[in-house]
């Protein structure tokens, strides 16, 4: 009995010794935002992290398929590298104009923000147009999801799935940016809203860096 009282006193003393104010002031103590960003921006980052894992799965699958098959068609002889380089160029430019739209929105310059957003959308649409051209060319040469004339069926399968999934991301990005632009034109937008849309757009560009390197160059 005496022992349990001693434990209780000890527990009470330990509680007293914890300075509640200091706990709340610490980053992870509950009184602050540990990531230092608003919930909306943080949710976009969480979404991008999970989306990055989807692409990681697809690209790892591609790597395994390619390592396992032993031979792989020479992409340089099948795809026009200059078309793909131009697509990369377009996406990098649209990322730059997106960053500038965010900068303009932060300064409160709505006109400039809308103009840069429109340029970004134009870049995205041109990218999609060139991808459509590339797919058409590839399909006309006989490539299908399960077969192709170059002997390794997984070559066209991984190509269609990965670039298709990325193209889908560009398409949704264009729609997302269109919505943001329309809202900006009506004056119903916030600098942070533009920034969050920008995070998504830059992520699509970032994924393309890997796709460009792994699917076309290596």
Partner 1 sequence: MERSGHGGYKVYILTWFWLLVITALEVSITLVHMPKVLMASLLILLALMKVVLIAAYFMHLRFERLSLVYVAVTPLVFAVILFFALVPDALRIPGIR
Positions touching partner 1 (CB under 8 A) are 27, 34-37, 42, 45-46, 48-50, 52-53, 56-57, 59-60, 63-65, 67-71, 76, 81, 85, 88-89, 92-93, 95-96, 98-100, 103, 106-107, 195, 198-199, 202-203, 205-206, 209-210, 212-213, 217-218
Sign of CA dihedral 78, 80, 81, 83: negative
Q: Which of 122, 89, 185 is nearest to 194 (CA)?
A: 185
Cα distance from N-terminal residue to C-terminal residue, the chain: 74
Nearer to partner 1, 124 or 198 (CB): 198
Whole-number Å distance between alpha carbons of 107 and 89? 27
* 204, two tokens: 């699509």
Question: From the CB of 171, what's the least distance to partner 1, in Å?
Answer: 20
Question: From the CB of 166, what's the least distance to partner 1, in Å?
Answer: 15
Nearer to partner 1, 178 or 199 (CB): 199
Nearer to partner 1, 142 or 151 (CB): 151
Nearer to partner 1, 128 or 152 (CB): 152
User: CB-based contacts of 72: which residues, under 8 Å, 6+ apart?
Assistant: 66, 152, 155
Sign of CA dihedral 211, 152, 82, 173: negative
Question: From the CB of 77, what's the least distance to partner 1, in Å?
Answer: 12
Question: From the CB of 176, what's the least distance to partner 1, in Å?
Answer: 16
């Amino acid at each position: 009995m005496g022992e349990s009282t001693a434990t209780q006193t000890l527990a009470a003393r330990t509680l007293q010794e914890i300075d509640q104010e200091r706990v709340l002031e610490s980053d992870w103590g509950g009184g602050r935002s540990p990531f230092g960003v608003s919930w909306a921006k943080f949710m976009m980052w969480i979404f991008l992290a999970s989306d990055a894992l989807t692409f990681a799965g697809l690209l790892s699958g591609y790597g395994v398929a390619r390592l396992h098959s032993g031979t792989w068609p020479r992409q340089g002889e099948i795809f026009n590298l200059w078309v793909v380089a131009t697509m990369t160029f377009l996406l990098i430019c649209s990322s730059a104009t997106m960053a500038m739209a965010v900068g303009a929105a932060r300064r409160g310059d709505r006109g400039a923000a809308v103009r840069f957003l429109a340029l970004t959308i134009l870049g995205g649409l041109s990218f999609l147009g060139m991808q459509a051209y590339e797919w058409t060319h590839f399909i006309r040469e006989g490539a299908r999801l399960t077969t192709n004339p170059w002997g390794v069926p997984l070559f066209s399968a991984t190509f269609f799935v990965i670039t298709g999934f990325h193209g889908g991301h560009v398409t949704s990005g264009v729609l997302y940016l269109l919505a943001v632009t329309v809202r900006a034109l009506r004056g119903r937008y916030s600098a942070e809203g533009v920034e969050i849309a920008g995070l998504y757009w830059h992520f699509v560009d970032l994924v393309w860096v890997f796709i460009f390197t792994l699917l076309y160059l290596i």
